[in-house]
Structure 1
Amino acid sequence: MAFRSVLSVTGADHSDQDVRTAASLCAEVGAYLSVLVMSPPPLAVSPPPLGDGIPEWPGQRAHAIAALEKRYRQIERFSQDMANLEKTSREIHKLLRATWRCYDVDTEHCDKAGVGDAVRQRALCTDLTIIGPALLTTLVSGLLLSIGSLFDTGKPVLVVPEGAEPTLSPRRVLVGWDSRVEASRSVREALDLLSGAEEVRVALVDPEATCSGSGAEPGADIAAYLTRHGARVLVDRLPSAGKPVPTVLAQHAIDTSANMIVMGAYGSRRLRERLFGGVTRWIVGKPPLPLFLAR
């Protein structure tokens, strides 16, 4: 599908690196950019009420004073968080006015439990969510965001690790394929990218042992589908040799000079959290490549 609406999520305490990355990708394909600025971790809660006053008994009085001091610190932190959100929002507006004018900027202050839902609501009405290197450094928030923007909406996510050169017009793409619905979904969502690439390599790891329903020649069915959509396809059948599938795919992407990896996200929410953390680690640990995920 064509990407006409892109969501970028950043933190109020992050640099503008992720927004710049998203803006450059939007300019590349003429997409509208929505930026969501989140409160910095650890996310503060709304300030509690001050109470009815200080008791007269000494022991109770000391306890009440300590409680009030804690509440005032919470209020101070809340005020600082809100000020940081507004400051970051103004800076992003200034940046985008100078680089890409088709945009909007929104802010959100919530606790950790609300992060995923806040992103999910925005991602439902966009074509692609970009998770950049600044956000990836915040591991817990990154996992929550991945759940909210990808796994609870079915919309794709482009993960951009530090040092990667992201593009929505890649020349060479590696597709991790195993004939599952999730893999098919990732290919469908990335179809515009794949049909425009100079080379698409469909990689199957241990295909005879792990893939079913792919015909006499594993990978021939998806290769034919992509060819009908104008993609230039090669099929690579790879032995795992006891290595994890993501490791095999990552190394093959490096060996074939791929600009991007496309793959599906699988399993239960807990399994998908582990997958997201895992693929982030193996991408960051290798020469960095953008990762296109869909479910």
Structure 2
Amino acid sequence: MVYKTILAIIGAATPDQFLKQAAELCHLSEAHLSVLVVVMAAPPPIGDYAATISDAWLEEQTEDRRKLEAKITSSRDVLSGLASGAEVEGLYCEAVWAHSRIARRAIYADLVLIGDADIIGRELRRQAIDSVLFDARRPVLLVPKAAPVTLMPRKIVLAWDSSPDAAAAAREALDLMRGTDLIDIVMIEPDADGVRQGEDPGTDIAAYLAHHGVKGMVDRIVADGRTIAEALQDRAAELSADLIVMGAYGHSRLRERIFGGVTQAMIEAATIPVLLVR
């Protein structure tokens, strides 16, 4: 996929450095940058004390809108000399409506950039990732704080488990993989059951990539007591990889939030950029 329209979702407190990073990414990729500043409103007061606190709630709304407008203005100023034609829009809504409103904007992007919790805020980050992956069905590029990010990676780690989501991620990243120095197809303790992953796990996806002119190295790793996410991150660090590519939420969001999962662990603790695809 050649990314020509990139959406960056930010909050009112997102540092300017993230915007500069997004602008540089789009400049090098010859892509158009759109920025969506999101501020989620507190729900209206209800119950016996609604009348008592309604004034405070209205004042909070006024302040939130002021912060939103200020961030839109400052973001335009930051981008004015960095990204020609960049668009900055604002969204103010209650959390219950955030999913649909963010998704409505994300469907017009090839790729959505989302920073870590320090960059965007924990609640907005969760809402943004879910709405983009599940509602808009667009790929998400997670950008950890202070991590370099590029759409011309030299070394890529492809997390592979023979699932449809992993296959979708591999297809999404085909253009990124061409011209790289290394594609490491990482499998964490695969089961050679001859059914789901085949008797020689990883050779199927390596053959698929080869048909597209991409040479991948199958790397079967023993976890040694680590979680799958930890093993992936360790391998990426060993290779000095620029990007991890993986399918997202093989299990339901609710199950991953309650019991944990690879996607949730990577979202929470990514140290290099991660391309999530569903």
TM > 0.5: yes
Aligned equivalent of 1:3: 3
Amino acid at match of 2:17: Q
**Aligned positions of 1:167-178 closer than 5 A:** 167-178=150-161
Between the aligned partners of 1:15 and 1:134, the Cα distance in structure 2 is: 12
SS in 1 for 2:220: strand
In structure 2, do the counterparts of structure 1 residues 277 and 219 end up closer, same or farther at CA, with 3 Å as the change threshold? closer
Aligned equivalent of 1:55: none
Amino acid at match of 1:44: A
Between the aligned partners of 1:183 and 1:270, the Cα distance in structure 2 is: 20
Amino acid at match of 1:27: H
Aligned equivalent of 2:95: 112
Displacement of 1:134 in angstroms is 5.5
User: Do residues 244 (structure 1) and 227 (structure 2) align?
Assistant: yes
Between the aligned partners of 1:100 and 1:137, the Cα distance in structure 2 is: 21
Aligned equivalent of 2:30: 30
Q: Say if 1:264 and 1:294, in contact at 8 Å, map to a contact too.
A: yes
Amino acid at match of 1:10: I
Aligned equivalent of 2:205: 222
SS in 1 for 2:178: helix
Q: Say if 2:18 and 2:119, in contact at 8 Å, map to a contact too.
A: no
User: Do residues 281 (structure 1) and 264 (structure 2) align?
Assistant: no
Between the aligned partners of 1:35 and 1:104, the Cα distance in structure 2 is: 6
SS in 1 for 2:223: coil
In structure 1, stretches of 5+ residues that fail to align are: 49-62
% identical equivalent positions = 32
Q: Say if 1:155 and 1:294, in contact at 8 Å, map to a contact too.
A: yes
Aligned equivalent of 1:269: 253
In structure 2, do the counterparts of structure 1 residues 70 and 257 end up closer, same or farther at CA, with 3 Å as the change threshold? same
Between the aligned partners of 2:59 and 2:72, the Cα distance in structure 1 is: 20
SS in 1 for 2:235: helix
Aligned equivalent of 2:128: 145
In structure 2, do the counterparts of structure 1 residues 79 and 47 end up closer, same or farther at CA, with 3 Å as the change threshold? farther
Q: Say if 1:18 and 1:134, in contact at 8 Å, map to a contact too.
A: no
Amino acid at match of 2:131: G
Between the aligned partners of 2:193 and 2:27, the Cα distance in structure 1 is: 40
Return the match for 2:42 from 41, 44, 69.
Answer: 44
In structure 2, do the counterparts of structure 1 residues 95 and 47 end up closer, same or farther at CA, with 3 Å as the change threshold? farther
Displacement of 1:170 in angstroms is 0.6
Between the aligned partners of 1:156 and 1:67, the Cα distance in structure 2 is: 41
Displacement of 1:113 in angstroms is 1.7
SS in 1 for 2:234: helix
Q: Say if 1:263 and 1:293, in contact at 8 Å, map to a contact too.
A: yes
Q: Say if 1:32 and 1:102, in contact at 8 Å, map to a contact too.
A: yes
**Aligned positions of 1:176-255 closer than 5 A:** 176-208=159-191, 212-255=195-238
Between the aligned partners of 1:254 and 1:234, the Cα distance in structure 2 is: 16
Displacement of 1:279 in angstroms is 1.1
Deviations 1:128-154 (A, max 9, x none): 111113565622221111110112232
Amino acid at match of 2:251: G
Amino acid at match of 1:6: I
User: Do residues 84 (structure 1) and 71 (structure 2) align?
Assistant: no
Displacement of 1:76 in angstroms is 1.7
Between the aligned partners of 1:118 and 1:135, the Cα distance in structure 2 is: 23
Displacement of 1:92 in angstroms is 1.1
In structure 2, do the counterparts of structure 1 residues 101 and 139 end up closer, same or farther at CA, with 3 Å as the change threshold? same
Displacement of 1:46 in angstroms is 6.6
Between the aligned partners of 2:191 and 2:51, the Cα distance in structure 1 is: 66
Between the aligned partners of 1:131 and 1:86, the Cα distance in structure 2 is: 20
Q: Say if 1:135 and 1:141, in contact at 8 Å, map to a contact too.
A: no
What TM-score, normalized by structure 1, do the two folds share?
A: 0.84
SS in 2 for 1:204: strand
In structure 2, do the counterparts of structure 1 residues 12 and 136 end up closer, same or farther at CA, with 3 Å as the change threshold? closer
In structure 2, stretches of 5+ residues that fail to align are: none
Give the number of equivalent residue pairs.
273
Amino acid at match of 2:12: A
Between the aligned partners of 1:235 and 1:192, the Cα distance in structure 2 is: 19
Return the match for 2:57 from 48, 65, 74.
Answer: 74
Say which one has the larger Rg.
1
Amino acid at match of 1:189: E
